[in-house]
Amino acid sequence: MDAPYAILEPLEDGIARLLARNPSPYTYTGTQTYFVGGETEAIIVDPGPDSDDHVTAMLEALGKRRLVAIACTHTHRDHSPASRPLKAATGAPIIGCAPLSLEATGPRADAAFDRDYAPDRVLEDGETLFADGIVLEAVATPGHTSNHLCYAVGGALLTGDHVMGWSTTVVVPPDGDMGSYMESLDKLRRREDRVYYPAHGPAIENPTRLVRHMIGHRMQRERQILKRLEAGDSEIGEIVANCYPGLDPRLVPAAGGSVSAHLVELERQGRVERMEGDRWKPA
């Protein structure tokens, strides 16, 4: 894919971007690592996958600057593993999202998680870090994962996987939570940031409009699922077939995960009931 791999791209005062070479259907052109800071200090956000190429590119981009902190938005394997070689090379602490211990097998299993992530310090909502006088503030945004943080820098927001322009964010149980995701979208709607820089895909100008649109889209999907249950559908497969006509077969599992996330949230609200064998009915 033609993309600016290993090239540090200045975006605005205090923020630059470095793309890792891990393109895929889930990562678009790859993971975008952000550098926040000035001429003498920097914070690296989302160091990305543990690839020698990308670690070398990050160290080159850092140059003689002091690395104040390595911060991750969440612990999917395309975001946090390079925190370890980067810490080993620079001595900088890993400060940011909480560690998540999901099982390797069983109902809490998720192979996409970086199980070796080990932060030196966890940032709570509203806590700040500084690099050359530039402030980076943690904004707790659970939903895509329960430990997801966005980072505000001036009027810009580094959104990780919470909001992306190129694709709908995957929210799949057990760790993904549609209720939390909707609340986190509403939190961003009220912030009114100037621009979003996601971990994958291009910057989002006029982001509040996109967030409103996303909230509307998810609410519409929820109504559609309730309608299907009222019409007699009970299995997730049936609901997917009726709500996503003509869907690429490769995307059926992701759509099933999303329907499942909606059902779990509707169950929490007392609007649907779970029956035997992962079948559902209106409450």
Q: Which residues form the interface with Zn ion (CB under 5 A)? A: 76, 161
**Euclidean distance between CA atoms 43 and 74, whole angstroms:** 16
CB of 223 to Zn ion, least distance (A): 27
- Closest CB to Zn ion among 76 and 228? 76
- Closest CB to Zn ion among 161 and 265? 161
CB of 72 to Zn ion, least distance (A): 10
Nearest alpha carbon to residue 129 among 143, 119, 114, 118 = 119
Instruction: Give the nearest residue (CB) to Zn ion.
Output: 76
CB of 160 to Zn ion, least distance (A): 7
DSSP per-residue letters across 28-74: BT-PEEEEEE-SSEEEEE---S--HHHHHHHHHHHTTSEEEEEE-S-
**Euclidean distance between CA atoms 231 and 27, whole angstroms:** 36
The number of helix segments (H) and strand segments (E) in the chain equals 6, 15
Rg, the chain, Cα only: 20
Per-residue tokens: 172: 């799949």
- Closest CB to Zn ion among 76 and 187? 76
CB of 161 to Zn ion, least distance (A): 4
CB of 74 to Zn ion, least distance (A): 6
- Closest CB to Zn ion among 54 and 76? 76
CA distances 245 to 54, 62, 166, 206, 265, Å, are 40, 48, 21, 31, 23
- Closest CB to Zn ion among 73 and 260? 73
- Closest CB to Zn ion among 161 and 177? 161
Nearest alpha carbon to residue 15 among 142, 203, 200, 185 = 203
CB of 97 to Zn ion, least distance (A): 11
